[in-house]
Structure formats: C-alpha cells, structure tokens
Structure 1
Amino acid sequence: MQCHRIEELLELLEPVWLEQQELNLVQILAQLAKEAGFEGPLEELTDDVLIYHLKMRGSDKQEMIPGLKKDCEVDFKEALLKARGIK
C-alpha cells in the first residue's frame, strides 16, 4: 500500500472511529466490512473496499461511485464524437 493510500484511509477512518471510540480498530474494520457487504475473512478485506465504502457511506444507494461516474457518458452521440477525437 502506498503512503498516500494509507493517509487517505486514515483520514476517512478518523470520523468513524471518533463516533465509536469504545471500539478498537479491528472491531471498526469488521463493522465497515459488514456494512460494505464484504463476506470474506477480515484479512482479505482490501483497502479499496474500505476507501470506497467510507467515501460512499451515507450517500444514496443508487448513487454511482465517484471514480466510475466520471467515465460514464450519458449522451451516446457525444461519446462517439469524443471517441473519434472530435470533442
């Protein structure tokens, strides 16, 4: 894991941990994994799952993940023009 990912994860974890100070880190990670729908063993939980879940936590369930949202084209014609380098 790269340094900036560690820093990002800690920054996202801080408010959650402060809300539930009675829990230890492993308990918080287990809770977040369960919220995210992760069903595997905790040692297989990736930082990506945690980061995306923490970023999307509390948002509408139908809302698209920010990293994917920017790649979606709503207008098919615009997507074709962009693919051809016109737009």
Structure 2
Amino acid sequence: MSCHKINELFELLGPEWNKDAHLNLVEVLQKLAEEAGHKGDLSSLTDDTLIYHLKMKGEKSDAMIPGIEKDAEPDFKAALLKARGIK
C-alpha cells in the first residue's frame, strides 16, 4: 500500500471514528464494512472499499464516484469520439 493511500484513509477515517469514539478501531472498521455491504471476513476488506465508502458515505445514491467524474462524458457519442481521439 502506498503512503498516499494510508494518508487518505487516515484523513477519511478520523472524522468517522470520532463520531463513535467509544468503539475501538476493529469495531469501527467492522461497522464501515457492514455499511459498505461487505459480507466476508474483515481481513478480506480492501483499502479501496473503505476509501470509496468513506468518500461516498454522505452522497446521494446516484452520485458519481470521485475519480470517475472527471472522465465522464455527457453522452455515448462524445465518449466514442473521445476514445477514438476525436474531440
């Protein structure tokens, strides 16, 4: 895992953990995993799942995922033309 991901996860996790400060770290991670719909063991929870869940937690259900939004095209034709190098 890169330092960037660790820093990003700590930034996102801090405010969430403060909401439930009485919980220990594993309990907070378990709660977040359940909210994200993770069904497996906590050991199989990926850092990316946590990061995206924390980023999207307060957003509407149809909100675009951060990082994808910058590459989104308004329609299919524009996306095809961009993929072919035509703008």
TM score, norm. by length of structure 2: 0.89
How far apart are the structure 2 equivalents of 1:7 and 1:82? Answer: 33
Correspondence list, 1:37-56, <5 A? 37-56=37-56
Q: Distance between the aligned counterparts of 2:76 and 2:61, measured in 1? A: 25
> Structure 2 unaligned runs (5+)?
none
Instruction: Supply the distance in 2 between the matched residues of 1:52 and 1:21 (Cα, whole angstroms).
Output: 21
TM superposition shift of 1:41: 0.3
Shift of 1:68: 2.6
2:11 is aligned to: 11
Query: What fraction of aligned residue pairs are identical, expressed as a percent?
Result: 62
Post-superposition offset of 1:82: 1.9
Aligned partners of 1:45, 1:83: CA distance in 2, in Å?
33
Tell me, in whole angstroms, the C-alpha distance in 2 between the residues paired with 1:39 and 1:77: 38
Distance between the aligned counterparts of 2:76 and 2:46, measured in 1?
Answer: 34
Structure 1, residues 22-51: CA drift from partner, whole Å, max 9, x if none?
Answer: 000000000000000000100000000000
Shift of residue 64 of structure 1? 2.1
Q: Aligned partner of 1:2: which letter?
A: S
The gaps in structure 1 that reach 5 residues or longer are none
Q: Which residue is 1:61 aligned to? A: 61
Aligned partners of 2:68 and 2:82: how far apart in 1? Answer: 17
**TM-score when normalising by structure 1:** 0.89
Alpha-carbon distance in 2 for matches of 1:83, 1:43:
38
Map of 1:86 onto structure 2: 86
